[in-house]
Structure 1
């Protein structure tokens, strides 16, 4: 008999935030903020009640990474070339694809403010072939799905997007989707919890697993 140790499988990939064993890494409580962290989080976006979102108080446990991440994320979110509606369609589809309940819930209000409709949100969960999309919307969502599945945009989809966007915008599309994949890896793995009052329904695997 082989006495080699059998590796015990880790938590199933769709067992995401909401599990009572999570978060794996808790947000850094304010009474443990040193001067550097306090300076970083003082400048962080805040919720209406004045609290710092859990994503920032968790990431602040790695202040060197935090200081480098924030300008890049801020550029894509607030200073990018893509219109807000397009940006949020891509982010929400990526959140759905990765089952990232935190990412989904935090971006629903941003998407609504950018012109994403309730019907759009419903179609995002159904995918690019759902009825009601424009041709351009369909190509954008296909790009998000292809990058998620294949780590590249297909030639057909790329050529369709290139008919609408300049080179810099095409670069931004790939980087935006990649950025929110990276965030989903961080959020799902560390178990960052969605703050009360945000809607997690529609976030793919996370909503089904933890519902």
Structure 2
């Protein structure tokens, strides 16, 4: 069996000329984008979609984090989970709410459960049922329904990159999670060896 290629996050010294200047913005702040930089054309094309999905979506910060966290759970991406535990805390979500996103929808707050069910349907059925579509439109509008779908697709692509490349969790996020672990999370020493 051939050796697997290794794609560690690119350093500034190895940054590709085609993505020049991007390391000073969002792309340089996270290991996932430093890994994506192996394909600088993809990274450049990714930027405007990232602006909408991450910052300008119709879901609002907290429901967006619910969708991202549930997507990370479904992908088995410890990187996405860790990054977004920290981001969810930063936008005002408490640890009990964050932790509930790993479990059954019945154990979540009603809005979170609707988002989680939508994520699960997209993974399991590859489409949203009429009932979930109606619930989403009622809760976040038509734009929000499409933003849920886009968020799952966007973060699935990132999760596939992270899992395929074993991208390590960013040091600042790992340090924050070591200092303030989420209840029920693996011991920090165990997490360091986990797939990203």
- TM-score w.r.t. the length of structure 1 is 0.76
Task: Note the C-alpha offset of 1:22.
Answer: 8.6
For 1:140 and 1:101, the matched residues in 2 are separated by: 20
Alpha carbons of structure 1 residues 162 and 53: separation in structure 2 relative to 1, 3 Å: closer
Determine whether 1:107 maps to 2:89.
Answer: no
Query: Of 61, 64, 69, which residue of structure 2 is paired with 1:84?
Result: 61
Query: Of 5, 22, 25, which residue of structure 2 is paired with 1:43?
Result: 25
- Cross-structure match for 2:139: 164
Q: Tell me if the contact between 2:71 and 2:155 (Cα under 8 Å) persists in the aligned partners.
A: yes
Task: Note the C-alpha offset of 1:181.
Answer: 1.1
Alpha carbons of structure 1 residues 120 and 76: separation in structure 2 relative to 1, 3 Å: same
For 1:122 and 1:61, the matched residues in 2 are separated by: 33
Task: Note the C-alpha offset of 1:95.
Answer: 0.4
Task: Note the C-alpha offset of 1:108.
Answer: 1.3
Larger Rg: 1
Q: Tell me if the contact between 2:114 and 2:132 (Cα under 8 Å) persists in the aligned partners.
A: yes
- TM-score w.r.t. the length of structure 2 is 0.81
The answer to which of 108-117 and 96-105 deviates more is 108-117
Q: Which runs of 5+ in 2 are unaligned?
A: none
Deviations 1:178-205 (CA, angstroms, capped at 9, x unpaired): 11111111111111111234249759xx
Task: Note the C-alpha offset of 1:151.
Answer: 1.1
Aligned residues: 182
Q: Which runs of 5+ in 1 are unaligned?
A: 1-7, 9-20, 47-51
Q: Tell me if the contact between 1:88 and 1:107 (Cα under 8 Å) persists in the aligned partners.
A: yes
Q: Tell me if the contact between 2:16 and 2:38 (Cα under 8 Å) persists in the aligned partners.
A: no
Equivalent residues in 2 for 1:1-211 (5 A)? 24-44=6-26, 52-130=29-107, 133-196=108-171, 197-198=173-174, 199=177, 210=194
Q: Which structure is richer in relative contact order (CA contacts within 8 A, separation 6 or more)? A: 1
